[in-house]
Amino acid sequence: MFYKLKKAELLNKNIEMLNNSLRDSNIVELVYVLGKKKEIVKRNFLAGIFRGIGIGIGVTIITAMIVIFLERLVKLNLPVIGEYITDIVNIVENGQR
């Protein structure tokens, strides 16, 4: 009798530990998402859109910082480099190739 109670307590403890670990690892959400293909497509579509927007904003900011840096280099009147930088800045500002 005592052996059965001890075994039942150990089993309950193990089940509780398993339940906590599954809850902590968000396995329920994973099973929910894997069950619905439309949900996966929707999440990936939205993630792709926001990734694209983020890349566009990031490239714009980096390019603006580079142009500002090059404009400041032009103001230093460096002999040979200044002419090339001036051409680059003019091409970027005018949108020419």
Cβ neighbors of 28 (< 8 A, separation 6 or more) are 22
pLDDT of residue 56: 97
Look at the pTM and tell me if it is higher than 0.95: no
Q: Kindly report the length of the chain.
A: 97
The pLDDT tens digits for 26-37 are 776 777 767 778
Longest Cα–Cα distance in the chain: 96
Find where tokens 């390019």 sit.
63
As averages over each run of 10 residues, the pLDDT of the chain (97 residues) reads 77 87 75 76 92 97 90 77 78 75
For residue 36, what is the DSSP state?
-
